[in-house]
């Protein structure tokens, strides 16, 4: 069953399309991430779902009901803003209870629900503390508890972790994901951080210039992007201009031919296409190894060593490749070293080139 459905949803500001004819189905109980660069329309789309913006055209249905023009306060959705928007003059418990007070829930029921939520977010000992005395991560948890206090049918998160430092942000990603799974609440989260989306989402909606570029499971989008934009936005990738030869291979810059396993996607020889291979799929071999198909000679020009992993830049005369490896796999790797870079055919993906602007 599909819980939330968007049909040709468009939002214009003057002549500019912030969101342009978006069709989307959000399934029950899943966490969906709207992912894309600043200005791609993801927050505007979330605000239309919340009822804080009205579509210029199109329809939004929730649980078989048209809510396109239903006011935000009658949608029964919970929302956590980027700023969190907690009330600084209230305690933790009073902040969490606020939506229950608005609904005129009786005091005893309020108390029970607040106690239950503070246990859920592991802050029962801070019920009477002013929110101004909490850490960033604690305030984040209080904002989520407040958003789910009235048991909303949909939870909307607008870049809720952007103000946190890197280590806390990663911890909160796991906390929010576990909480969402425990509650089984359908959740939509806006982020521009692809790592965050990959960590948290059941499904990612990649947005580009107000439109949906691709929808899918995180690994499917990472492994099989439909375009250069998606490939470039989701993780690190070697993206090279190539010419398809019509016989299961492509010519790289400089003319070297390599075989690819995914030729079916290319409509015709000479199409404007790119070759994508992820750094972890580039195999770095010693220069003394046997040369062969899909093995390119190169020189190591840069190494980023972060202990457990290595990232090497390899100059292949005409283009460069980034390879992700480990000290165990490539012992003794050093700057200036000649190497062979092997591109396994199964890992070479052909994608549509980015449209000219």
Please identify which residue in the block is written with the tokens 């062969």: 292
Q: 60 is written with which tokens?
A: 């939004």
Crossing angle between the packed helical segments 107-120 and 136-148, to the nearest 10 degrees: 130
For residue 264, is it left (φ>0), alpha (ψ between -120 and 50) or beta? alpha
pLDDT tens figures, 175-207 = 889 889 988 999 999 999 999 999 999 999 999
In a domain, 357, yes or no: no
- Boundary of a domain, candidates 179, 207, 228: 228
Q: Where are the alpha helices (DSSP H) in 121-255?
A: 136-148, 166-183, 194-200, 218-223, 228-233
Domain with 57 in it: what CATH number?
A: 3.40.50.300
Q: How far is CA 212 from the centre of its chain?
A: 13
Same domain? For 201 and 267 the reply is no
Q: How far apart are CA 243 and CA 253, in angstroms?
A: 9
In a domain, 308, yes or no: yes
DSSP state of 73: G
- Boundary of a domain, candidates 178, 199, 228: 228
The pLDDT value recorded for residue 262 is 64
Same domain? For 101 and 66 the reply is yes
- Boundary of a domain, candidates 228, 247, 276: 228
Same domain? For 65 and 151 the reply is yes
What are the mean pLDDT values of the chain's consecutive 10-residue runs (357 residues total)? 86 92 94 94 95 95 92 89 85 91 87 89 89 87 88 90 81 87 92 92 96 95 91 90 82 86 56 88 89 88 90 92 92 92 92 73
The pLDDT value recorded for residue 337 is 94
Domain count across the chain? 2
The pLDDT value recorded for residue 272 is 82
In degrees and rounded to multiples of 5, residue 249 shows phi and psi of -140, 170
In a domain, 35, yes or no: yes
Domain with 295 in it: what CATH number?
A: 2.40.50.100
The pLDDT value recorded for residue 288 is 84
Same domain? For 325 and 183 the reply is no
Same domain? For 254 and 336 the reply is yes
DSSP state of 201: -
Same domain? For 129 and 254 the reply is no
Same domain? For 49 and 118 the reply is yes
pLDDT tens figures, 219-266 = 999 999 988 999 989 988 999 999 887 777 888 888 888 888 865 566
Residue 190, beta-bridge partner list: 34, 158
The pLDDT value recorded for residue 267 is 47
Same domain? For 34 and 50 the reply is yes
The pLDDT value recorded for residue 163 is 74
The domain containing residue 289 runs over which residues?
Answer: 236-352
């Amino acid at each position: 069953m599909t819980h939330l459905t968007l049909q040709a949803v468009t939002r214009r500001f003057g002549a500019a399309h912030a969101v342009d004819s978006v069709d989307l189905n959000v399934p029950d109980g899943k966490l969906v991430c709207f992912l894309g660069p600043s200005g791609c329309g993801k927050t505007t789309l979330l605000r239309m779902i919340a009822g804080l913006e009205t579509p210029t055209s199109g329809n939004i249905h929730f649980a078989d009901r048209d809510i396109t023009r239903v006011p935000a306060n009658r949608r029964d959705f919970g929302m956590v803003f980027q700023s969190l928007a907690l009330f600084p003059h209230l305690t933790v418990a009073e902040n969490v209870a606020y939506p229950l007070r608005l609904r005129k829930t009786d005091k005893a029921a309020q108390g029970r629900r607040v106690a239950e939520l503070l246990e859920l977010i592991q802050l029962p000992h801070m019920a009477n503390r002013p929110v101004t005395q909490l850490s960033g991560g604690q305030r984040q948890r209080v904002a989520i508890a407040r958003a789910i206090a009235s048991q909303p049918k949909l939870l909307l998160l607008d870049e809720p972790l952007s103000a946190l430092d890197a280590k806390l942000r990663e911890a909160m990603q796991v906390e929010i994901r576990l909480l969402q799974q425990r509650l089984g609440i359908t959740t939509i989260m806006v982020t521009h951080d692809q790592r965050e989306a990959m960590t948290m989402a059941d499904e990612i909606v990649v947005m580009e210039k107000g439109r949906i570029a691709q929808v899918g499971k995180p690994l499917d989008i990472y492994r099989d992007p439909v375009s250069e934009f998606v490939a470039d936005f989701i993780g690190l990738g070697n993206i090279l201009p190539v010419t398809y030869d019509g016989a299961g291979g492509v010519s790289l810059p400089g003319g070297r031919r390599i075989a690819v396993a995914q030729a079916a996607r290319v409509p015709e020889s000479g199409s404007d296409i790119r070759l994508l291979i992820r750094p972890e799929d580039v195999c770095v071999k010693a220069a003394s190894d046997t040369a062969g198909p899909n093995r390119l000679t190169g020189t190591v020009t840069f190494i980023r060593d972060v202990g457990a992993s290595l990232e090497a830049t390899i100059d292949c005369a005409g283009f460069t490749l980034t390879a992700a490896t480990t000290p165990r796999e490539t012992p003794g790797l050093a700057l200036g070293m000649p190497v062979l870079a092997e591109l396994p055919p199964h890992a070479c993906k052909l994608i549509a080139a980015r449209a000219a602007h």
